[in-house]
């Protein structure tokens, strides 16, 4: 009975997405016009391929954005190493992920933008690429994709699986849970981030025998290859930072820069030559920070302009993509953003820790709280969490310096 109800709910979902397809396509074109979709390859989101499908077995890895895509790369490399006869197809949704990940993947990996979850786009994509298995990363549960793949007898796996409290509330609603249960029953393997995540999947009626544990893939911090010109620029910046106190605020969301600048002003009273590196989550936010600080008469060095740290410049804004790991090597302290405003869910803290940084976050770190707890068990001072929006970090940072 539960399975039949799930099939009925899915038929309703499929009919809705079919009927709304023209509006979804218009929305996609609007996103392209606003620069949110790739100007040349946006049709891949409708299921149209840009490359020929090689003969033989094919694995499809899908991640929504940059963070999820980066943690899939070690798995992809391992698959290629063990099965060089298998073709790997990688898809992501965002252009920011595309711009960074395309340089990190092995040369023989095919990279496409993921199809939107409409019947036509998913059916076209699956018929053309005909993968032997689909490996989804973290929380990519899309009914047309999952049910469509299962109908074609394509194996399904969910790696680094996570289910936030908010998502759990949505997927567990009385009308939706039959569909949730039907989708989860199609997976052959689910690897949750933690025991808490595993419990949520089981409460959503996921078969317990398909749940296994392997740890958080975001701990698999690999090296990022740096172009020769970029490497020289980083070395020059490292020379400019010598003999100066420096700290970094990374993955900063709009509104959080005010917290970071307040901390910068407080620290500047103790260390007049201090350098604050700000890495916004979205590059265009860096330009806004630059404009606001210029109005206040504050001199800012902007990464995209290749500005140098001249005397009197204390703030360096990294408004580029894919350079976080490089900059973590230049600073002893990293404040991880996306954690200071209510409703935020934090960002990966293991990259900064792996680079040897002292890690500080705000109070809202979502499922990354499990990662923070694990790291604090090993070293109570490895991650410090601030519950009053950063203002008393002046003393903490002064102690670290």
Cite the active site residues. Answer: 68
Residues 6+ apart with CB under 8 A from 119: 14, 17, 18, 21, 144, 148
Q: Which among 268, 380, 348, 281 has a CA at the least distance from the CA of 70?
A: 348
User: Coil, strand, or helix at residue 327?
Assistant: helix
Per-position DSSP letters for 335-361, written without gaps between them: EE-S-SSTT------HHHHHTT-EEEE
Q: Is 43 exposed, middle or buried (0-12, 13-18, 19+ CB in 10 A)?
A: middle
Residues 6+ apart with CB under 8 A from 163: 139, 171, 192, 197, 200, 201, 204
Q: Which residue has the tokens 């946006």?
A: 42
Q: Would you give the DSSP letter of residue 185?
A: T
Token pair for 184? 């989860």
Residues 6+ apart with CB under 8 A from 271: 245, 401
* Nearest-angstrom CA–CA distance, 109 and 105: 7
Q: Integer distance in angstroms from the first to the last C-alpha of the chain?
A: 63
Which pairing describes strands 275-280 and 358-361: parallel, antiparallel, or unpaired?
unpaired
Give alpha helix (H) positions in 34-118: 66-82, 95-101
């Amino acid at each position: 009975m539960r399975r039949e109800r799930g099939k009925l709910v899915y038929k309703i979902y499929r009919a809705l997405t079919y009927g709304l397809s023209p509006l979804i396509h218009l929305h996609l074109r609007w996103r392209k016009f606003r620069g949110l979709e790739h100007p040349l390859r946006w049709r891949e989101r409708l299921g149209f391929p840009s490359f020929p499908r090689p003969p033989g077995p094919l694995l499809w890895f899908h991640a929504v954005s940059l963070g999820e895509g980066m943690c899939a790369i070690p798995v992809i490399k391992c698959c290629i190493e063990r099965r060089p006869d298998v073709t790997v197809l990688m898809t992501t949704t965002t252009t920011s992920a595309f711009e960074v990940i395309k340089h990190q993947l092995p040369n023989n990996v095919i990279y496409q933008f993921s199809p939107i979850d409409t019947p036509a786009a998913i059916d076209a994509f699956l018929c053309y690429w005909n993968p032997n298995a689909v490996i989804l990363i973290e929380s990519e549960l899309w009914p047309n994709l999952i049910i469509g793949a299962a109908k074609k007898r394509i194996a399904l796996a969910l790696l680094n699986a996570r289910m936030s409290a908010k998502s759990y509330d949505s997927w567990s609603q009385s009308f939706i849970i039959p569909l949730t249960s039907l989708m989860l029953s199609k997976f052959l393997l689910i690897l949750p981030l933690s025991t808490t995540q595993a419990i949520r999947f089981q409460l959503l009626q996921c078969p317990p025998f398909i749940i296994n544990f392997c740890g958080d893939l975001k701990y698999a911090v690999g090296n990022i290859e740096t172009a020769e010109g970029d490497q020289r620029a980083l070395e020059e910046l490292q020379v400019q930072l010598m003999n100066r106190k420096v700290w970094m605020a990374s993955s900063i969301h709009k509104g959080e820069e005010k917290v970071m600048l307040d901390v910068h002003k407080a620290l500047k009273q103790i260390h007049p030559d201090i350098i604050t590196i700000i890495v916004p989550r979205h590059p265009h936010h860096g330009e806004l920070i630059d404009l606001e600080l210029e109005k206040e008469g504050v001199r800012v060095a902007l990464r995209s302009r290749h500005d140098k740290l001249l005397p009197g410049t204390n703030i360096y804004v990294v408004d580029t993509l894919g350079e976080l790991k490089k900059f973590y090597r230049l600073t002893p302290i990293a404040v991880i953003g996306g954690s200071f405003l209510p409703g935020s869910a934090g960002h990966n803290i293991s990259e900064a820790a792996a680079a040897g940084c002292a890690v500080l976050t705000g109070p809202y770190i979502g499922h990354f709280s499990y990662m923070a707890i694990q790291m604090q068990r090993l070293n109570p001072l490895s991650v410090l969490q601030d519950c009053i929006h950063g203002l008393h970090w002046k003393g903490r940072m002064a102690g670290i310096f």
